[in-house]
Amino acid sequence: MALKLMIQGTMSNAGKSFFSAALCRIFCEDGYSCAPFKSQNMALNSFITSEGLEMGRAQAMQAEAACVEPSVLMNPILLKPTSDVGSQVIVNGRVRGNMRASEYFRNKKQFIPEIMEAFNELDKKHDIIVIEGAGSPVELNLKADDIVNMGMAKLAGAPVLLVGDIDRGGIFAQLLGTLMLLEEDERRMVKGLVVNRFRGDKTLFNDGCRILEEKGNVPVAGVVPYIKCDIDDEDSLSDKLENREKGLVNIAVIRLPRMSNFTDFDVFTQYDGVSVSYVTKPSEISEADMIIIPGTKSTISDMKWLRESGIEAAVIRAAEKGVPVFGICGGYQMLGKIISDPDNTEGGGEIRGMGLLPCTTVFHLEKTRTQISGVMGNLTGPLAALSGKSFSGYEIHMGRTDVEGNCLSRFENGISDGCNVKNIYGSYVHGLFDSTEISREIIMALFKSKGLTYGGKAMSRQEYKETQYKLLADSVRANIDMKLIYKILNEKL
């Protein structure tokens, strides 16, 4: 039976996912078989396992940090928002249906047997399980039916580390206020406090640690500095979405209202002189050397937003000037002529696409979920050098797209994917750019279009990720009391 440790936060984006990943890597380095777990995840960034099952991207990242294969057991419930009041509910990797928030909250305790079945399977296979909470454990209106914070800690019998974000201010209110609002039995489960994202000389916070320990009656396990670490982030509050810096080459990603899998484009930030910015205004596209339209959970709704915001017209103008435009998944569907949802899978209806690619999309109830690999076709336009290059990734979409023109790529099973006309490119493949062959050729082509030569190194995506996991683990290990962590792990609740 595994040892358990739960990481809860004082708020969303307090650093729970990163801190959990750091501990997963540290435990792995210390010789333990470790697995991440999050009972319920609400995110539009998802991953497809080797079995073709869907899980949250953060737990896939944490599994990678722990040096184990991602498994849907690590995230049995995934909620993918389709509107402000509803989500697609995915249970054990498969779509269970769409539910309004009120319906889900009324029924979510029914999922506890499936959550615990997944957790117990991990419990049999690993030495340590690092459990991640969601948001705050003291959302008082939600606590009665909680299955992801203290409710999960009790089900698992897991001691809790509470993480607060000092960079956002109010660290005493965050940590002490959270402890105060917990029930007495819940408060006893909190065995350590973590002050996250500290900037400057942390000895200046020695009095702060003393105050937290005296008033909270819980030891401070560490004061962790602000770590500039580039690993997959699922949160819509991610700092990378706010980047406005300009580079020698500028890639503009349209920040759709229901944007999904924005981690598809993280690879480009590895390249010197390249800036990736997420844009919401037509004016922000004017200096783009390449435009990417990402995936979305609500294609028709986001196509309306693209049109009404004026961004569609700006993208078309840029395309007419020869700027490469690349659509992934929902973005690929938007580049076509028609998007139709006759079965009401994402809200129903039909809409005219941008008309930049000769293809039409019809949504169906069955979701495509599979890992794939293949080679690029004979491409035209500024990215023609991608022709014949190998790639791997995964598909995750509801629609089927009929293509009249040149296909973008061909999978190993012989099925064609995507479409290419001149400087317009579309594909269903998430992770396509993670191939070093693909990303490097794109960057070289973009530099060439500006009369420049790219001379930087091209580290593989996996090698780069390993450097970032090591940076994260080393930084956390140096600033956390690991003796206390192991003591907490072995304590009986």
Backbone angles phi, psi at 411, to 5 degrees: -80, 165
Helices marked H in 275-329 — which ranges? 299-308, 311-320
Which of 164, 134, 166 is CA-nearest to residue 150? Answer: 134
Place of tokens 């009929």: 402
The answer to whether residue 364 is catalytic is no
CA–CA distance from 451 to each of 47, 444, 445 (Å)? 37, 11, 10
List 329, 359, 407, 419, catalytic entry: 329
Which of 43, 53, 50, 112 is CA-nearest to residue 79? Answer: 43
Distance CA 259, CA 81 (A): 10
In contact, 161 and 22? CB cutoff 8 Å? no
Distance CA 200, CA 138 (A): 30
List 24, 126, 359, 430, catalytic entry: 430
Distance CA 270, CA 190 (A): 38
3-state secondary structure of 20: helix
CA–CA distance from 126 to each of 121, 123, 177, 282 (Å)? 9, 6, 34, 50
Count CB-CB contacts under 10 A for residue 316: 13
Helices marked H in 14-156 — which ranges? 16-29, 57-65, 101-107, 112-125, 150-156
Which of 134, 142, 78 is CA-nearest to residue 396? Answer: 78
The answer to whether residue 229 is catalytic is no
In contact, 122 and 35? CB cutoff 8 Å? yes
Q: What DSSP element (H or E) covers 34? A: strand 34-37
User: DSSP strand E in 261-418: where?
Assistant: 274-279, 290-293, 295-296, 325-328, 338-341, 349-352, 359-376, 390-403, 409-411, 416-417
Distance CA 493, CA 480 (A): 22
Helices marked H in 126-228 — which ranges? 150-156, 171-181, 184-189, 206-216
Q: What DSSP element (H or E) covers 252? A: strand 249-254
Helix 461-479 with 57-65: angle, nearest 10 deg: 80
Catalytic center residues: 329, 430
